[in-house]
Structure 1
């Protein structure tokens, strides 16, 4: 069998479907070990090993005893080139089902998978767009043919495609805060389709563009559904939450399923700890326990539901999330100021782009976003 017929390509959409379906997946990651340790493909039934490409140029001996004979082998690198070479070598060694993951980790980082969360009482639906390669979550609320998108990713095409396929009109783009871990697509998409772009004013003091202010108590109507605005600072000084249809609480980067937001990405950790505690232990505590929490990120595959979505009732989080059960204020302050992962890659540049201060080209934007999100307290 020749190498041209022995190896196949698999795109990240197909791979995502397999992972969310719970398929057994074996992946060989041929990036440098430091890059692998920082950020890798994860899944409930994903078995992944790492051996850098340069260690495999001359021979596959370092990994031969780890390659399965009875299941497909998926090879990934940074952009898709090195993985093709290694996949061909594996196929030549007698393995029948070998795939190179097209576009590598760059493509993995950019894929969005839409998952239906539920129906809305006024008619309509809410969807969660899962950016599985980066742990970012964005939301599409549709009612009576109108659409609002919350915390849109840089890749706006999946939202445009969804809106077009369902004959909808995009009317509102909302960001819960000024993001530091990923580039927002909200303003770009709003300008492209003539929709209204909303941002918390306390996060927008340095922005270079016009926007509609998100003020506490505001209500935004989308078709027959209301989105209620709740000021909820702590991750940033302007962090804002939304209650959609009195059913769903979109928490941005304030509250996650298995953690809470970090207050330090603008260099204001000491100033914002008290705000974070007040939001989590007072503002949210006054809300209905049966609200479904929909965060802007997730940290690990363990936070996913069976269908790949990420959600949990607020009342259950108050029982199970450690970050919501630190009674001593000093201990809370220590937890959220000391148990922090490294800051996201290029976070300052990302903030400046989201302010409109810089406008790097597409490849630079991709490089800025490489790596996992790091918005949570460990």
Structure 2
């Protein structure tokens, strides 16, 4: 049987469409336990590659014959070799092209709404839980919270025939490397960053302050900056076209943002509560919340998007319904998951203080999203 290479985009479609897939993950047990391809419709088996060096005969009975089979490893080589062993045993099998490093980098664009003479797109990074956005109108575009895979955004804008005019980061990211500044440099766009998060950056930027309005195209698309500290001291939300709330890492669909990635959880927990329980309560409950991350696959809708009405989150999101302030403080400071891999190095990179090469950037970002408080 011939072995096939399956692209990350093909796996992503199976995730979104909830199709069956059996994954044999041949990474070490600790790597698999920390982070894997997530889908409620997939089945999994983890057998480290070194246990299969003498052959795959012992696992053949545990692999279903009626499901599509994909072998996964970190970089590709090990999974390809195991896939070839399985093919020699008569199995129809694929391996993940580029391994988990490629899965971590794949972006799936999804249209989330119409704008006056334009559209709003969400770029879903399924392997990392990151969400980026592009607002398009009358030949112009703005990008919010871009990842380091800058060509995806630039090529998407070219395909749409629009010019990237503005690039924003809602805050100084600590879990992934921002591509915002690089996109601005490549396209001549203005790069915006909240000044309270930019005290240590070593590059020029446009200060994003509360009440800032940036016009995209000739239509009335205003991107209104809403100061919303808590995840970081400078965290800023956006209300686009009075319909969409881009909440950054302050509010997610099933959880709320963690305030500790700069080492100041006790200092910022009050800001986080003020944003969620006061500032956001003053907004229309009909706003569609579009966060910068998702934590679990249950937050991904059937169309592949991550979005929900603010009013629904006020009802269902546990982090928005803790009346006792002391209990809220305990939740936010005592119930935190492990910090993101290399988060200090990622912050230094996003400040412009260090410039790691591509291999180092991939290594720094490996692992799951960990921006949320565990509710």
TM-score of the pair, normalised by structure 2: 0.98
1:108 matched residue in structure 2: 103
Unaligned regions of 5+ residues in structure 2, if any? none
- CA distance change for structure 1 residues 62 and 271 in 2, over 3 Å: closer, same or farther? farther
* Cα shift at 1:133: 0.4
Pick from 44, 63, 66: which aligns with 2:40? 44
1:104-126 deviation per Cα after TM superposition (whole angstroms, max 9, x unaligned): 00000000000000101x22100
Report the CA distance between 1:346 and its aligned residue: 0.2
Give the SS at the match of 2:172.
coil
* Residue aligning to 1:255: 251
The match for 1:98 is 93
Q: Counterparts of 2:297 and 2:4 in 1: how far apart (Å)? A: 27
Distance in 2 separating the partners of 1:290 and 1:62: 55
CA deviations 1:325-349 (Å, max 9, x no partner) are 0000000000000110000000000
Q: Distance in 1 between matches of 2:161 and 2:107?
A: 20
Structure 1, 319-328 or 14-23: larger mean CA deviation: 14-23
Deviation at 1:71, TM superposition (A): 2.1
Partner Cα separation in structure 2 for residue 71 and residue 330 of structure 1: 50
The 3-state SS of whatever aligns with 2:143 is: strand
C-alpha deviation, 1:63, in angstroms: 2.1
Pick one of 288, 311, 318 that aligns with 1:292. Answer: 288
2:208 aligned with 1:214, yes or no? yes
Shift, 1:42, TM fit: 0.7
Whole-angstrom distance in 1 between the partners of 2:39 and 2:228: 32
Shift of 1:57: 0.9
Is the aligned partner of 1:268 residue 2:264?
yes
**2:17 aligned residue (7, 16, 21):** 21
1:324 deviation in Å? 0.2
Matched, 1:335 2:331: yes
Match of 2:114 in 1: 119
The 5 Å alignment of 1:76-91 reads: 76-91=72-87
- Report the Cα offset of residue 44 of structure 1: 2.6
Task: Establish whether residue 154 from structure 1 lines up as the match of residue 148 from structure 2.
Answer: yes
**CA deviation vs aligned residue, 1:258-310 (integer Å, no higher than 9, x gap):** 00000000000000000000000000000000000000000010001001110
| Residue 177 of structure 2, aligned match among 183, 193, 201 | 183
Deviation at 1:160, TM superposition (A): 1.1
Confirm whether residue 197 of structure 1 aligns to residue 191 of structure 2: yes
CA distance in 1, matches of 2:347, 2:58: 42
2:238 to 231, 237, 242: 242
1:62, CA displacement in angstroms? 4.0
Residues 1:358 and 2:347 are matched in the alignment: no
The unaligned stretches of length 5 or more in structure 1 are none
| Partner SS, residue 285 of structure 2 | coil
CA root-mean-square deviation: 0.8
Alpha-carbon shift at residue 15 of structure 1 (Å): 1.4
SS at match of 1:117: strand
* Cα displacement string for residues 36-88 of structure 1 (whole angstroms, at most 9, x for unaligned residues): 00000011311111110001111224422221112221001000000000001
Aligned length in residues: 372
Structure 2 counterpart SS, 1:91: helix
| SS of structure 2 residue aligned to 1:37 | helix
Q: Under a length normalisation based on structure 1, what TM-score does the superposition of the two structures give?
A: 0.97
- Residue of structure 2 equivalent to 1:7: 3
Q: Distance in 2 between matches of 1:283 and 1:217?
A: 13
- Which runs of at least 4 in structure 1 moved beyond 4 Å after TM superposition? none
Question: 1:217-232 to 2 correspondence within 5 Å?
Answer: 217-223=211-217, 224=219, 225-232=221-228
